[in-house]
Amino acid sequence: MGAPAMTQTTPAHLEYVLRLGDAALIHGQRLSEWCGHAPVLEEDLALANMALDFVGQARMLLSHAGVLEGKGRDEDTLAFLRHEGQYRNPTLCEMPNTDFAHTMIKGFLLGSFNLLMWSRLCGSSDEALAAIAAKSLKEARYHVEHTGDWVIRLGDGTEESHRRAQAALDMLWPYTNELFAANPTDDAAAAAGVGPAWSDLAEDWEKAVLAVLKHATLTVPARTPFQSYGKFGRHSEHLGHLLAVMQHLPRSFPGATW
Amino acid sequence: MYTQALDIPPGEQPKRTPDAVENAAYQAEFDARIDAGATIEAKDWMPEAYRKTLVRQISQHAHSEIVGMLPEGNWISRAPSLKRKAILLAKVQDEGGHGLYLYAAAETLGVSRDDLTEALLSGKAKYSSIFNYPTLNWADVGVIGWLVDGAAIMNQIPLCKCSYGPYARAMVRVCKEESFHQRQGYDALLAMMGGTDEQRELVQDAVNRWWWPSLMMFGPHDADSPNSGQSMRWGIKRISNDDLRQKFVDATVKQAEVLGVTLPDPELKWNEARGHYDFAAIDWDEFWNVVNGHGQCNVDRLAARVKAWEDGAWVREAAVAHADKQAAREKAAA
Ligand SMILES: [Fe+2]
Ligand SMILES: [Fe+2]
C-alpha cells in the first residue's frame, strides 16, 4: 500500500488508523469464537464470513499503521505483541459473546457505525486508508444487513428472544457512548482530512440504529453518564483474557515465524 | 473432509425389501444402468437398500464435516499470525459448507436435515472417528490439513464418479476445496520446519499422533469390510479400503521426506517387488475403541454439538416465530 512513508505522519493519524485496525481485530476475534458453535449451520458460515472480513480489515489496517509508524512493525507485531493498554479498540468490541443476541446486537451497533465510517473514509486524504475503506464499505453493508435482520427477528420473535435481545441491548448500549466521545485525536485527524471526528457520526448512527430497534420492538435504553475508555487504551477486564488467548503462541515462541 | 469406513457399523447387510422384489422389472433396469456406468438421479427408481446405504454414507459424511469443524476450530482463537488465522477460519468455514451440500444431497433421498441432525446428536449416527482425537499443538492444524484432508481426498476422489448423481456432484466441489486445504496445511508445516527447533518439535509431535489415525480413516481391511462388495457393485465405492490406504502411504512418504519429518513406523520401507511401501500392522483395537465411543474426544465432540444445538434452540424458534408473524401481517394487509 502506497503509504507516504517519507512524509511526516502525525501521532493523531497513526492513532486514528490503529483504532480502526484494533476495532476490526478484536471484533473479528470475538466473532471467530462462534465458529462451529452457532445455532444453525447457515449461521456458522455467516459468522465465520464476518469474522474473516474483520480479520482481513485488521490485516490491512495494522499493516498500514505499521508503515505510518515507520518503526518496522508489521501486522503481526502490532496484533500480537502489544500490551493491553496499547490497544485502541472501543470497549464494545471486546465485550464477550454471552449469547447469540449479544453477538447480533453488538454486531449491529458496531456495523452501523462502521458503515458510516467507511463511507466517509472513502474520501480520506490518506489514499491507502481510502482504498481500505472502499473494500470495507461493501463488507459493512452485508454486516449491517445480516445483523440487522437478526435484531429484528430476535426482537420481534418469541417472548424469550425478545427478552434476550432487550437484555443484550441494555447491557451494550452504554458502551456506545464511548464511540462518540470527542477527543484531540479526532480533531486533528478531521482537520488533516484523514477521517471524520467520530462524534460527527453520532446523529446519523442514532437515526439508522433507532429505526431498526423500533422495527424490532426493542426499547432504547436511556442515556446514562456511563463512560468507557477502550479507544484511549483503558479497557474492560475482558480484553486481557482475549489477548492472553490470542497472543499465546507468538509470545511463547519469540522470534518464530509461522 | 471426510469419509471413512463406509461400512460402519459392520455386519449390517442391506436387505432386499419387498418393495424391491415387487419391482423386479425396475430392478433389472437399475442393474443395467449401474453396469453401464450410468448415473442414478433423485427422481429415478432405486432399490431401497441402495437408498438406505446412500443415506447412511452421505449423512455420516455430512456429520463428519460438521464435527470436523471442532478440532481445528479449537485453534482459531490462538492462530499465531493473522494470515494463518484467516486461512484456518476459511478452512473451517469450508468444512461447514461441505456439511451443507452433503445434507442437501442426502435430502434428495427423502430424509430431512433435522432428522439427520437428531440422529447425530442422539449418538445414533456415526461420524469419522479421526475427529475424536485431540488437537494439542498448533502444528496439529497443519498436520490435519496435510494428512487428514489428504486421506479424505484419496477416499473422495473415487466418489466424484459415484453412481448417485447428487452425491457425485457434491464430491466434485468438495474435493477441489479439500486439495486446497491439504496444500495450505502442508505449507503451514513447511513454514514451521523452516523455523526454530521448537517449531520442528511441534510438527514431529503432531505427525507422531496423527499418522496412524490417518491410516485408519480408510476403514477396516478389505477382508473385514462386509458391505464393501455390495457398495462396489452399486458403484458407490470404486476402490477398496486397502488399495486406497496403500495409495495414500505411497504418496505421503515422499512428502514427509521433503518436509523433514519422520513417520512413526520403523517398518515403513520401499518394497521393490510390490512397487509399494510396506508398513506395520494397524492397531485395529484402537480403531474400534474410538469408533465405539471410547476415544479421547468422543464425549467432548458430541457434547459440543449438543450444546450448540440446545443453546441455539431459542434462536431457531425466534426465526420461525418472526417469519410466521410476517406472513400473518402480509396476509392481513392483502
Ligand atoms: Fe470437508
Ligand atoms: Fe477439508
Q: Quick check: helix, strand or coil at residue A242? A: helix
DSSP classification of residue B40: B
Tell me how far apart the alpha carbons of residues B75 and A214 are, in angstroms, rounded to a whole number.
39
Neighbours of ion ligand 1 (CB under 5 A): B 1, 65, 95, 98
- Enumerate the residues of chain B whose CB falls inside 8 A of the CB of residue A36: 69-70, 73, 92, 96, 304, 308
Q: In this structure, is residue B237 part of a structural domain? A: yes
In order of A132, B41, B52, the CA distances from B162 in angstroms are 45, 11, 15
How far does residue B89's CA lie from ligand 2's centre (Å)? Answer: 12
Q: Do B93 and A29 touch (CB under 8 A)?
A: no
Tell me the DSSP string of A118-155: HHHHTT-SSHHHHHHHHHHHHHHHHHHHHHHHHHHHHH
DSSP classification of residue B180: H
Q: In this structure, is residue B9 part of a structural domain? A: no
Q: Do B78 and A246 touch (CB under 8 A)?
A: yes
How does pLDDT run across A109-166, given as a tens digit for each residue?
Answer: 999 999 999 999 999 999 999 999 999 999 999 999 999 999 999 999 999 999 999 9
Ligand nearest to the CA of B102: 1
Closest-CA distance of chain A to residue B322, Å: 4
How far does residue A11's CA lie from ligand 2's centre (Å)? Answer: 44
Looking at residues A197-213, what average pLDDT do you find? 98
Tell me how far apart the alpha carbons of residues B294 and B289 are, in angstroms, rounded to a whole number.
5
Q: In this structure, is residue B14 part of a structural domain? A: no
Q: Which three cell numbers mark A40?
A: 444453525
Q: Do B80 and A250 touch (CB under 8 A)?
A: yes
Closest-CA distance of chain B to residue A42, Å: 8
pLDDT at A34: 97
C-beta atoms surrounding B83 within 10 Å = 16
pLDDT at B21: 53
Q: In this structure, is residue B26 part of a structural domain? A: no
pLDDT at B15: 44
How does pLDDT run across A207-241, given as a tens digit for each residue?
Answer: 999 999 999 999 999 999 999 999 999 999 999 99
Ligand nearest to the CA of B178: 2
Given CB atoms, is B84 within the 8 Å cutoff of chain A?
yes
Average pLDDT in chain A: 96
φ/ψ of A95, rounded to 5, equals -60, 140
Split into its structural domains, chain B has a count of 1
Residues with Cβ within 8 Å of B230's Cβ and at least 6 positions away in sequence, in order, are B13, B14, B49, B53
C-beta atoms surrounding A16 within 10 Å = 29
pLDDT at B13: 42
Looking at residues A249-257, what average pLDDT do you find? 96
- Enumerate the residues of chain A whose CB falls inside 8 A of the CB of residue B314: 158, 160-161, 164
pLDDT at B8: 42
How far does residue B173's CA lie from ligand 1's centre (Å)? Answer: 10
Q: Quick check: helix, strand or coil at residue A229? A: strand
Among the partner residues B92, B93, B318, nearest to A158 by beta-carbon distance: B318
Which portions of chain B are predicted below pLDDT 70?
Answer: 1-22
Among the partner residues A153, A164, A257, nearest to B319 by beta-carbon distance: A153
From the list A56, A51, A53, A65, the residue with the least C-alpha distance to A1 is A65
**Interface with B, mutate which of A27, A31, A44 (most B CBs under 10 A):** A44
CATH number at residue B164: 1.20.1260.10
Helix ranges restricted to H, B41-193 = 48-67, 69-73, 82-107, 113-121, 139-143, 149-156, 165-193
**Residues facing residue B270 across a β-bridge:** B277
Q: Do A76 and B82 touch (CB under 8 A)?
A: yes
**Contact criterion met (CB below 8 Å) for A80 and A92:** no
How wide is the angle at C-alpha A195 spanned by C-alphas A189 and A198, nearest 5°? 85
CATH fold of A11-218+229-252, please? Ferritin (1.20.1260)
Instruction: Judge if ipTM > 0.90.
Output: yes
Given CB atoms, is B329 within the 8 Å cutoff of chain A?
no
In order of A112, A150, A167, A220, B156, the CA distances from A212 in angstroms are 10, 10, 16, 11, 46
- Enumerate the residues of chain A whose CB falls inside 8 A of the CB of residue B308: 36-39
Q: In this structure, is residue B255 part of a structural domain? A: yes
How does pLDDT run across A163-190, given as a tens digit for each residue?
Answer: 999 999 999 999 999 999 999 999 999 9
| Nearest residue on chain B to A248, alpha-carbon basis | B78
Q: In this structure, is residue B10 part of a structural domain? A: no
Q: Do A99 and B313 touch (CB under 8 A)?
A: no
Tell me the DSSP string of B238-282: -S-HHHHHHHHHHHHHHHHHHHT---S-TT-EEETTTTEEE-PPP
Q: Do A79 and B82 touch (CB under 8 A)?
A: yes
pLDDT at B226: 75
How does pLDDT run across A13-28, given as a tens digit for each residue?
Answer: 999 999 999 999 999 9
Q: In this structure, is residue B64 part of a structural domain? A: yes
How far does residue A86's CA lie from ligand 2's centre (Å)? Answer: 37
Residues with Cβ within 8 Å of B4's Cβ and at least 6 positions away in sequence, in order, are B64, B128, B129, B130, B155, B216, B217, B218, B219
Q: Quick check: helix, strand or coil at residue A225? A: coil
Question: How many residue pairs bridge chain A and chain B with CB atoms within 8 Å of each other?
Answer: 142
- Parent domain of B101: 33-333
